[in-house]
Amino acid sequence: MVAVPNIKLNNGIDMPQVGFGLWKVGNDVAADTVYNAIKAGYRLFDGACDYGNEVECGQGVARAIADGLVKREELFIVSKLWNTFHDGDRVEPIARKQLADWGLDYFDLYLIHFPVALEYVDPSVRYPPGWFYDGEGEIRTSKASIQETWTAFEGLVEKGLAKSIGVSNFQAQLLYDLLRYAKIRPATLQIEHHPYLVQQELVNLAKAEGIAVTAYSSFGSLSFEEFSMKQAKGLTPLLEQDTIKAVAEKNGKTPSQVLLRWATQRGLAVIPKTTRPAIMEANLDVTSFDLPQEDIDAISALDRNLRFNQPSNYFPTESLWIFG
């Protein structure tokens, strides 16, 4: 089994540098996928309310524990607060629901998914709620501030419901604002990060502030093709990009391993996903070799500041915004 190094968080807790992402893992295969990933050696699993598969992922964890593959304390389970639960009094109840869905007593890390507060949708009406208040196209915002939400997050730590807390999809200005009032500093920042979107200044800021960075969508546009985003049209997929392929051939690795090592060698954590056992093992083994600095630089030079995961990409043009 591949030995995966840890990243020491600013609260002293160790987080595996290579984990397994659960976005778009189908409900019909989620339990088996998580079970097989644990069997392959993964210990960090990155989930979210919005993924709609937390019950099934929890079943995979429970089966692995029951079969003696792993102990709960050996796992690092990550989940995220969805936008409709940003109001302070909504945070703990939904976190408890998500824990129940997972079959867990605590999350190792709980993140604010987006710095976007939307009007509350009761889970009994629709869960996960998605972006639209009516489930179709109407977007209603909430007045909840990041400070209100973060204060409730700190309460989760105090009550033992989350060991670490952090943020996702935040940019520098919001991080600076959060750090002004945070009694518990964010342990991690999760961002879209790949050679077409390097965000080096943001990575540098996080490092300077002692905040670990987790990269998602390490393979670029692959996860977003179904959304027909205009910025992906005519773009060479990273796994087929000439520079990436040349570096892979030169180093005797696959393009996916090169992309993941480019991130991990620069100190970031990664959360790739696949249902194929051979690829699971290959993606996990991305810290046992080093790329020459010239290869790191060549990959970084592909930067186009091209972001795929932003809220406006998911909204139909006729969406109605109601500011509450």
Domain ranges of the chain: 8-309
The owner of tokens 């408890």 is 96
Sign of the dihedral through C-alpha 250, 254, 259, 260: negative
SS3 154: helix
Q: Are 220 and 194 in contact (CB under 8 A)?
A: yes
- In this structure, are residues 191 and 212 in contact, taking their beta carbons and an 8 Å threshold? no
The catalytic position among 35, 42, 51, 110 is 51
Q: How far is CA 205 from the centre of its chain?
A: 19
Determine whether 181 is an active site residue.
no
Tokens describing residue 62: 């429970």
Mean pLDDT of the region 232-256: 93
Locate 245 and state its tokens: 């392929």
Average pLDDT, the chain: 93
Do residues 311 and 82 make contact, with C-beta atoms less than 8 angstroms apart? Answer: no
In sequence order, what are the beta bridge partners of 21? 46
**Arch. (CATH architecture) of 8-309:** Alpha-Beta Barrel (3.20)
Whole-number pLDDT of residue 221: 74
Annotated binding site for substrate: 113
- Beta carbons of 189 and 199 less than 8 angstroms apart: no
| 97 — pLDDT class (breaks 50, 70, 90) | very high
pLDDT score of 10 more than 60: yes
User: How many other C-beta atoms are found inside a 10 Å radius of the C-beta of residue 73?
Assistant: 7
DSSP 18: B
**43 three-class SS:** coil
Answer yes or no: pTM beyond 0.75.
yes
How many angstroms separate the CA atoms of 256 and 286, rounded? 9
Q: In whole angstroms, give the CA distance from residue 249 to residue 253.
A: 6
User: How many residues are recorded in the chain?
Assistant: 324
In the prediction, which pLDDT does 264 show?
98
Catalogue the E-assigned strands of the chain: 6-8, 14-16, 20-21, 44-46, 76-81, 109-112, 138-141, 165-168, 188-192, 212-216, 269-270, 320-323
Angle between helices 146-158 and 88-102 (to 10 degrees): 50
Reported as a single tens digit per residue, the pLDDT across 180-191 is 999 999 999 999
